[in-house]
Amino acid sequence: MKVAIYGQNYVKDTTQSAVEKLLGYLLVKEVDVYFEKEFLQTQDTTVINNKNIKIFETLDQSFNLLISVGGDGTILRAITFVRDLGIPIVGINTGRLGFLATIQTEEIEKAMSEIFKGNYNISERSLLSISTDPENSDIAKTNFALNELAISRKNTTSMITVETHLDGEYLTSYWADGLILSTPTGSTGYSLSCGGPVITPAAKNFALTPIAPHNLNARPLIIPDNTIVTFKVDGREDQFLMSLDSRIATLPNTTTVTVKKASFTIKMVVLLEESFLDTLRKKLLWGEDRRN
């Protein structure tokens, strides 16, 4: 079995502990372990100098699994390596909330054992595919997002106007700090904090959520995920910000942004004892009110 490991060493002690437990299991199982090059350099010398550990800078279809060590943000960066290769991803949570990275450090050995036995399900997650006119080279290199596309103001306290079309038909012009187009996966992220709805992963929908709209009747909107969405921005500044998950680009207001469902999905490993609804209850503390 060939396994890739990717992470970000934000919380060093927590991350190191998770890596040690993970390697303790994988190397005993004689797994071919590949660390992402930069992540390996953050490890201690015993890991860096271990002859059984190799490095990767890109992935190919020979890999059976990618293990992300960190939080949900780490998984969002990990998919830029996986792209359309169909490599399953599992997340070990050394971050905070963890809707995607659900395996806790103390559960690593048990979880890995279940995965190696094949006792898991695959949750296929839809992505957004983004194009711009004129083309932006930075976006063209990695033109997809697992969580959301967010358009927001730049270098100004003034609101922007985001003219929005659905399948070529004019919807409205949002007068706001910005606008989010979210996948079901991203519905529990930025969109949720702006008042957007929670969408279950298997739902074939996207959500449009305005960021601090001037008009209170500008509400979140659920749309089918086969809708082609087009944005055009206007405002006092000549530029605006567009983020794809955690990747940010500055675009001129003359840019037209077109978004549609990507032609591939990301495969998330879900242990049999886990479910999205269970994660939702735990992370949002539903049922903690004793009156329930």
CA–CA gap between residue 215 and residue 204 (Å, rounded)? 28
Annotated active-site residue 72? The verdict is: yes
Pair 184, 125: CB distance under 8 Å: yes
Strands 53-56 and 65-70: unpaired
From residue 74, alpha-carbon distances to 29, 95, 158, 185, 269 in Å are 25, 9, 32, 14, 15
CA–CA gap between residue 88 and residue 85 (Å, rounded)? 9
CA–CA gap between residue 38 and residue 112 (Å, rounded)? 24
Residue in 127, 136, 135 with CA at minimum distance from that of residue 259: 127
Residues sharing a CB contact under 8 Å with residue 285, sequence separation 6 or more, in sequence order: none
Task: Exactly one of 13, 32, 60, 72 is catalytic; name it.
Answer: 72
Determine the 3-state secondary structure of 219 from DSSP: coil
The sign of the CA dihedral 182, 187, 188, 192 is: positive
CA–CA gap between residue 186 and residue 201 (Å, rounded)? 9
CA–CA gap between residue 44 and residue 3 (Å, rounded)? 20
The structure tokens 């998330």 sit at 268
Residue in 144, 139, 141 with CA at minimum distance from that of residue 129: 144
Token couple for 21: 């437990």
Catalytic residues: 72
